[in-house]
Chains A and B, each alone.
Chain A
Amino acid sequence: MTKMTQSADSGAAPLVEVRNLKVVARGEDGREFPIVKDVSFSVERGEVVALIGESGSGKTTIALAMMGHARGGCRIAGGRVRLGDSEVTALSDAGLADLRGRRVAYIAQSAAAAFNPSRTIMTQVVESALIHKTATRAEAEIKARALFKALALPDPDRVGDRYPHQVSGGQLQRLLAAMALITDPELVIFDEPTTALDVTTQIEVLKAFKAVVRDRGTTGLYVSHDLAVVTQVADHIVVLRDGAIREVGATGQIIDAPRDDYTRSLIAAAEPQPRGAALLAEPSAPLLEVNGLTAGYGGVDSAGMPYIPVLNDVGFRIHRGSTLGVIGESGCGKSTLARVIAGLMPRARGSVKLDGRILAPAIGSRSREELRRIQIVFQMADTALNPATTVGKVLSRPLAFYHGLSGPALDRRVAELLDLVKLPRKLAARKPAELSGGQKQRINLARALAAKPDLILCDEVTSALDTVVAAAILDLLAELQRELGVSYMFISHDLKTVRAICDDIMVLYAGCKVEAGSREAMAKPPHHPYTDLLTASVPEMRMGWLEGAGAHTGAFASMHGGRVVSRAGCAFYPRCPLGIEGLCDRERPPLRPTVRGTEIACHRSDGDLMGLTVHGTEIAGHRSDLDVMGRPSAGQRSPTIAATSI
Chain B
Amino acid sequence: MMNHDVSPPVLAEAPPAPRPARRLFWPRIGFAGTLGGSIILFWLVMALFGGHFAPHDATEMLDADVFEPINWLYPFGTDYLGRDILSRVLAGARQTVGIALAATVLAALGGLLAGLAAAVIGGWFDAILSRTLDAMISIPSKLFGLILVAAFGSSILVLIPTLAVIYLPGCYRLVRAAAVNVAKLDFVLVARARGEGSFYIMTREVLPNIVGPVLADFGLRFVYVVLLLSSLSFLGLGVQPPDADWGSLVRENIGGLPYGAPAVIMPAVAIASLTISINMLIDSLFGRNTDRKGAH
Contact = CB atoms under 8 A, between A and B. Distances in A.
Interface string B58-87: 000000000000000000000000000000
Contact of B20 (A113, A371, A386, A429): A429
Interface in B14-28: 14-17, 19-20, 23-24, 27-28
B193 A363 contact: yes
B290 to A, nearest CB: 9
A380 to B, nearest CB: 6
Contacts of A389: 14, 17, 204, 208
A73 interface: yes
Contact of B14 (A343, A378, A388): A388
Contacts of B208: 386, 388-389
A110 B204 CA distance: 29
Contacts of A29: 20, 23-24
Interface string B249-292: 00000000000000000000000000000000000000000011
A25 B292 CA distance: 10
Interface stretch (A79-87, A318-326, A390-398): A390-398
B139 interface: no
Given A28-B24, A30-B27, A342 B294 contact: no
Interface in B208-263: 208-209, 211
B295 A74 contact: yes
B194 A451 contact: yes
B189 A28 contact: no
A73 B20 contact: no
B140 interface: no
Nearest to A440: B296
B187 interface: yes
Contacts of A385: 187
Contacts of B291: 72-73
A17 interface: no
B24 A30 contact: yes
Contact of A371 (B16, B186, B194): B194
B293 interface: yes
B1 interface: yes
Given A342-B193, A383-B185, A429 B17 contact: yes
Interface string B24-42: 1001100000000000000
B185 A73 contact: no
A393 B295 contact: no
A386 B1 contact: no
Contacts of B195: 363, 366, 368, 371-372, 401
Contacts of B57: none
A383 B189 CA distance: 10
B20 A376 contact: no
A469 to B, nearest CB: 18
A87 to B, nearest CB: 24
B179 to A, nearest CB: 13
A386 B19 contact: no
A74 B194 CA distance: 34
A371 B292 contact: no
Interface in A82-112: 109-110
A344 B187 contact: no
Contacts of A393: 17
B113 interface: no
Contacts of B193: 342-344, 363, 371, 375-376
Given A371-B194, A378-B190, A113 B295 contact: no
Interface residues of A, dominant DSSP? loop
A636 interface: no
B126 interface: no
A50 B196 CA distance: 45
A433 B293 contact: yes
Interface string B171-196: 00000000000000111011011111
Interface residues of B, dominant DSSP? helix
B8 to A, nearest CB: 14
A383 B17 contact: no
A363 B192 CA distance: 7
Nearest to B23: A29
Contacts of A386: 187, 205, 208-209
A402 B196 CA distance: 10
A378 B208 CA distance: 21
Contacts of B211: 388
Given A117-B1, A388-B14, A397 B194 contact: yes
Contacts of B204: 389
A501 B187 CA distance: 28
B11 interface: yes
Contacts of A416: none
B187 A73 contact: no
Contacts of A363: 192-193, 195
A109 B296 contact: yes
A350 B292 CA distance: 45
B187 A72 contact: no
Most buried by A among B17, B192, B293: B17
Interface string A49-79: 0000000000010000000000111100000
Interface in A106-132: 109-110, 113, 117-118
B194 A387 contact: no
A453 to B, nearest CB: 11
B194 A401 contact: yes
A184 interface: no
Most buried by A among B11, B24, B208, B295: B295
A564 B293 CA distance: 44
Contacts of A382: 296
Contact of B189 (A109, A117, A344): A344
A447 interface: yes
A429 B23 CA distance: 13
A71 B24 contact: no
A180 B16 CA distance: 38
A308 to B, nearest CB: 17
A283 to B, nearest CB: 31
Interface in A252-268: none
A287 B216 CA distance: 51
A393 B21 CA distance: 14
Contacts of A28: 16-17, 20, 24
A242 interface: no
A384 B205 CA distance: 11
A215 B292 CA distance: 39
Interface string B104-145: 000000000000000000000000000000000000000000
B205 to A, nearest CB: 6
Nearest to B187: A386
B193 to A, nearest CB: 5
A414 to B, nearest CB: 12
A313 interface: no
A375 B16 CA distance: 28
A380 B23 contact: no
Most buried by B among A366, A368, A380, A433: A433
Most buried by A among B28, B196, B211: B196
B186 A384 contact: yes
Contacts of A397: 194
14 contacts: A28-B16, A71-B296, A342-B193, A363-B193, A371-B195, A375-B193, A380-B186, A383-B186, A385-B187, A388-B14, A389-B208, A390-B17, A401-B196, A433-B293
Ranked 9 nearest A-B pairs via Cβ = A72-B294, A388-B14, A388-B208, A71-B294, A390-B17, A384-B186, A371-B195, A117-B1, A383-B186
Given A378-B190, A429-B17, 9 more contacts: A30-B28, A118-B1, A363-B193, A371-B194, A380-B186, A383-B187, A387-B14, A392-B17, A433-B295
Interface of A: 25, 28-30, 60, 71-74, 109-110, 113, 117-118, 342-344, 363, 366, 368, 371-372, 375-376, 378, 380, 382-390, 392-393, 397-398, 401-402, 429, 431, 433-435, 437, 447, 451
Interface of B: 1, 11, 14-17, 19-20, 23-24, 27-28, 185-187, 189-190, 192-196, 204-205, 208-209, 211, 291-296
